[in-house]
Amino acid sequence: MAVTYTGLGEWPTWLDTATHTPACRGHDTDLFFPSASRSGVGAKRQITRAKAICSTCLLLDPCREWALRQPLREVDGIWGGTTTGDRGRLLRESRRQ
């Protein structure tokens, strides 16, 4: 799971009791918070690596749904295979439909 949560929103407690082990468990937490440590090409590589880990996670859908329900400004980082920017785009697209 993305173990360090620095946002102000609700902690995803469902991760603590999830029936499957989060694929991000054991990985460096910083990998899932690229904006805090890198920019440019380095950040893109980091995001690609984090998303690749998420793509193998059995919790991908609930994790993404949780992240989409949180206020964008309060939840940073990659959750459910999405960056904050991705979630903003998904939310804007869903409002247009």
Instruction: Return residues touching ligand SF4 (CB under 6 A).
Output: 1-2, 22-24, 53-54, 57, 59-60, 63, 79-81
Q: Could you tell me the smallest distance in angstroms from the CB atom of residue 70 to ligand SF4?
A: 13
Q: Could you tell me the smallest distance in angstroms from the CB atom of residue 61 to ligand SF4?
A: 8
First to last CA, the chain: 32
Helix H or strand E encompassing 86 = helix 84-96
Q: Could you tell me the smallest distance in angstroms from the CB atom of residue 96 to ligand SF4?
A: 25
Q: Give the alpha-carbon dihedral of 20, 57, 44, 87, to 10 degrees.
A: -80
